[in-house]
Amino acid sequence: MKGFEVDFGGSISKENFLEKDAAIATIYGRVYVLVFKYSNRNATVLDLYELPFDAATGPSFKHSLILGFNGGCGIHVIDNLVVVHHQASQKSLIFDIRVSSPSKSHSPLVVTTIESHPQHQPPPALYTNFWFTFLPDIVIDSSGGVMYSIRLKNEHAQLEIADKQTMLEYLARRSNEKKLFVTTLLACLKARALSLRQIRKVFAMLTGVTGKSSASENSVENGSGSSQKPVLDCEKYASLAVTQQEMQSSVLIPLREEVSLPESYVANIMLQYLRSLFDAEITPEAYLIEMVVETLAEAGEMSKLQQIVTYRVINDSKPLAFLLLSYEARCSTLFQSGVDILARNKASDEIVEVMLEKKQIVDAFRFIDVRNLNDALIPKVVEAANQHCVRQTRYAIKEHLTEKKAKASLYKSIGDELYTAEEVKGASEEQATCALFEI
Q: What is the pLDDT of residues 54-87, one digit of tens each?
A: 767 778 889 999 988 777 789 999 999 999 999 8
What is the pLDDT at residue 225? 47
pLDDT-wise least confident of 14-28, 236-250, 304-318, 406-420: 406-420
Interval 288-342: pLDDT, tens: 888 888 888 888 888 888 887 777 777 777 777 777 777 777 777 777 777 777 7
Of the pLDDT bands very low, low, confident and very high (cuts 50, 70, 90), residue 414 is low
Which residues, listed in sequence order, are joined to residue 147 by a DSSP beta bridge?
140
Residue 213 has pLDDT above 50, yes or no: no
What is the pLDDT at residue 230? 56
Residues 6+ apart with CB under 8 A from 167: 157, 158, 161, 184
Rounded to two decimals, the pTM is 0.76
What is the pLDDT at residue 352? 78
Q: pLDDT: is 400 or 60 the higher one? A: 60
User: Is the CB of residue 97 less than 8 Å from the CB of residue 63?
Assistant: yes
Mean pLDDT, range 403-420, rounded to an integer: 54
Interval 351-393: pLDDT, tens: 777 777 777 777 777 777 776 666 667 777 777 777 777 777 7
User: Is the CB of residue 266 less than 8 Å from the CB of residue 299?
Assistant: yes
User: Is the CB of residue 208 less than 8 Å from the CB of residue 239?
Assistant: yes
Encoded amino acid at 347, one letter: A
Which residues, listed in sequence order, are joined to residue 168 by a DSSP beta bridge?
none
Rounded to whole angstroms, the Cα distance separating 230 from 54 reads 5
What is the pLDDT at residue 40? 64
**Percent of the chain topping pLDDT 70:** 82
Q: Among 17-26, 260-269, 348-357, which range has the highest average pLDDT?
A: 260-269
Q: Among 22-31, 37-46, 95-104, which range has the highest average pLDDT?
A: 22-31
- Other C-beta atoms lying within 10 Å of the C-beta of residue 54: 17
Residue 151 has pLDDT above 80, yes or no: yes
Q: What mean pLDDT value characterizes the chain? A: 81
Provide φ and ψ at 66, rounded to 5°. Answer: -85, 115
Mean pLDDT, range 407-411, rounded to an integer: 50
Interval 165-192: pLDDT, tens: 999 999 999 999 999 999 999 999 999 9
User: Is the CB of residue 166 less than 8 Å from the CB of residue 179?
Assistant: no
Rounded to whole angstroms, the Cα distance separating 333 from 303 reads 10
Break the chain into its structural domains and give their ranges.
22-152, 175-212+239-320, 346-405+422-438
Residue 233 has pLDDT above 80, yes or no: no
Rounded to whole angstroms, the Cα distance separating 249 from 365 reads 45
Q: pLDDT: is 14 or 68 the higher one? A: 68
